Homo-oligomer: A and B are copies of this chain.
């Protein structure tokens, strides 16, 4: 138990370190254009000509995919140290809107200059590849949740994901403010805002989470394991898991 907690903490500490190192490396080795954004600003929009990758220096962003028929989907959330715009490389057009959910700063890096620099500084290349690889892994996790978990468990998984993202950035995870509306969360998780609200209410009733006195967007998580076990209890036992 103690060792587990320690190792998790170290895992997070090293993530903090990795992100800090990467940001430092970028500053040192490649031309950067800083850009401050406020809640609601878009860093780039779908269809716009690709030219730069963006690294989140601070703040919090959502990636919104817009289908031809007007269906709108939040396909990703990004925090400090994440790269934005990676899905624009192949097509030379950004694949979604990158929207700031809060005040923050991104560093614009010209893709061509990045490639140049990467030849001189291989660590840059590693950082880029790791960022892409991590996003792929995260996407696959999202699909797993979307396809195999019922609504309640998806919401619980979302909170755990959020807490983990904060932990990896050295922030407190026992209490935090969701910077998304129920509608945005629901969109991200493939359910309605009402379902999100009900799931959160059920979790609060079971004392898996608590709402802080001010606002229903501040969430207190007594212990993360409770979230995990709530997820399990909400999830149906799969045939494979039975033996």
A140 and B131 CA atoms in complex are apart in Å by: 16
Inter-chain contact B238/A133, CB cutoff 8 Å: no
- List of B residues within 8 angstroms of A129 by Cβ: 89-90, 128, 132
Known A141-B65, A144-B65, A147-B146: A133·B232 in contact at CB below 8 Å:
no
Task: Report whether over half of chain A's contact residues are helix, strand or loop; otherwise say mixed.
Answer: helix
Copies of this chain, complex-wide, total 2
Total chain A interface residues with beta-carbon distance under 8 A: 52
Inter-chain contact A86/B133, CB cutoff 8 Å: yes
Inter-chain contact B147/A73, CB cutoff 8 Å: yes
Partner of A140, one of B70, B96, B140: B96
Q: Which residues on A are within 8 Å of B, measured CB to CB?
A: 63, 65, 67, 69-73, 75-76, 86-91, 95-96, 115, 118-119, 122, 125, 128-137, 139-144, 146-149, 187, 189-190, 232, 235, 238, 240-242
